[in-house]
Copies of this chain bind each other. A is one copy, B any other.
Amino acid sequence: MKPNLAEPILLMGSDMVWIDAGASGPAVEDEPLTISQMAEKFGVTPRTLRFYESKGLLAPARQGRSRIYRRDDQHHLALILKGRKLGFTISEISQMIASEHGRASPQALKMTREKCREQIELLERQVRETTEALVELRRLHTTLSRP
């Protein structure tokens, strides 16, 4: 069920990048899940699921007042968590999902290649700065290591 990359590239002029959830997350099941089951399965808290819903990123059905998460919701959450791992904000993920409105249920995060490049530069800067900090901390730790 991976997105068909060939066709959209032709349609969109190859200026878009699709990110699917890959096999990084847990296997999606047909069994509908309660909020606590869903949370445990994906390694988040129930609060996180309610928060994503309040931001319009999830829209699980209800059984009475309780939320129930089906296949599509699970795919959807996998996509959101993928976006978070790649360092995008909630509102960026929201836009990347929204630009997939051509489909019934989004199967990928869609972004411009320009946006992708910007994100790469952002993360590269983070790695540089954190690595510099590490160099200094390691130096402090080891040079003062022997009494």
Interface positions of A (Cβ within 8 A of B): 5, 9, 13-14, 17-19, 85-87, 113, 116-117, 119-120, 123-124, 126-127, 129-134, 136-138, 140-141, 144-147
Q: Contact between B133 and A130 (Cβ–Cβ < 8 Å)?
A: no
Q: Contact between A116 and B137 (Cβ–Cβ < 8 Å)?
A: yes
Cβ-neighbour of A14 out of B130, B131, B138, B147 (below 8 A): B147
Q: Contact between B86 and A144 (Cβ–Cβ < 8 Å)?
A: no
Smallest CB-CB separation from A84: which chain B residue? Answer: B133
Q: Contact between A9 and B147 (Cβ–Cβ < 8 Å)?
A: yes
Q: Contact between B120 and A19 (Cβ–Cβ < 8 Å)?
A: no
> Cα distance A127–B127 when bound, in Å?
6
Q: Contact between A117 and B129 (Cβ–Cβ < 8 Å)?
A: no
Q: Contact between B144 and A123 (Cβ–Cβ < 8 Å)?
A: no
> Cα distance A95–B125 when bound, in Å?
28
In this complex, which of A5, A113, A119, A134 has the most chain B Cβ atoms within 10 angstroms of its Cβ? Answer: A134
> Cα distance A19–B143 when bound, in Å?
12
Q: Contact between A13 and B147 (Cβ–Cβ < 8 Å)?
A: yes
- Closest chain B CB from A16 CB (angstroms): 8
Q: Contact between B124 and A134 (Cβ–Cβ < 8 Å)?
A: yes
Smallest CB-CB separation from A138: which chain B residue? Answer: B120
Which 9 A-B pairs give the minimum distances between C-beta atoms? A14-B147, A86-B133, A116-B141, A123-B134, A120-B137, A17-B140, A127-B130, A123-B130, A126-B130
